[in-house]
Amino acid sequence: MKNVTGRQSNPFGISPPCEPFVAGFGDANADFHVVGDHPGVHGGADSGIPFTEFAASERFQHTLAEAGLLAETGTPPVVESTFFSYLHPCVPEGVPGPDDYAALEPIFDSELRAITAHVLLPVGERATRHVFANMSARPPAEVDMETQHATEIPGSGWLIVPIKDPAQWDDEDERALVDALVDLRQRDYVRRADLGRFLPDDDPYMVR
């Protein structure tokens, strides 16, 4: 099923209980969903576009462009089957606490399941822990950004590629992510299961 919308910013009209906030941005039918932390960490408080304004976020955009996930970098970027959103879209005053994230979790999860991307790209430890806890069989305690950066981890209906926070990258981290995404895009990364074996005929029945 395809989402029918021409809107790239907040395509589903999600309204967090705060003002201002940084809505999800990108292709509503994206194959790749980039999951960030909050505007204070990954940028966008002024522009309203995730992963903008900060030097590390600009570096991240250039890396995604080199890997083929963006046609052009900028504010906003020109996306290629990619969607960006934050666990905590509200622009925080200070550092959000556990209750703040918990209050906004249903909003993020509803957007993630509406996009239904095939590959999740959580950026930073907090986003990766959330994805492990809710979209995979791996416990959050297994998150290790140094060893899992730019690696492929099977999830529950998704392929997960954790990404070390761009503010902490060295040149090797950047190159590893480009190479991993280029390699992934050249293969069949779609997460599907054939339930046709449970039906009376031999026709395949592919589902997420």
| pLDDT higher than 80, residue 14 | yes
Residues 84 and 100: their CA atoms lie apart, in Å, by: 20
- Domain containing 88 — which CATH number? 3.40.470.10
Tens of pLDDT, residue by residue over 77-101, are 999 899 999 999 999 999 999 999 9
In the chain, the percentage of residues whose pLDDT exceeds 70 is 90
DSSP E strand boundaries for the chain: 25-26, 32-36, 70-72, 78-79, 82-86, 119-122, 153-154, 159-160, 193-194, 206-207
**Mean pLDDT lowest among 2-16, 58-72, 86-100, 183-197:** 183-197
Over range 18-31, report the average pLDDT.
96
Judge whether 168 lies within some domain: yes
In a domain, 45, yes or no: yes
Q: How confident is the model at residue 199, as a pLDDT?
A: 44
Give the structural domain span for 45.
25-207
Q: Would 56 be classed as within a structural domain? A: yes
16 lies in a domain? no
Share of the chain above pLDDT 90, in %: 85
Identify any residues that bridge with 36 across adjacent strands, giving them in sequence order: 86
Counting the structural domains of the chain, the total is: 1
Average confidence score pLDDT of the chain: 91
| 5 lies in some domain | no
Is residue 184 one of the residues assigned to a domain? yes
Q: Is residue 161 part of a domain?
A: yes
Whether 160 is covered by a domain: the verdict is yes
**pLDDT, tens digit (0-9, with 9 covering 90-100), for 145-186:** 999 999 999 988 899 999 999 999 999 999 999 999 999 999
Three-state SS at 86: strand
pTM reported for the whole predicted model: 0.90
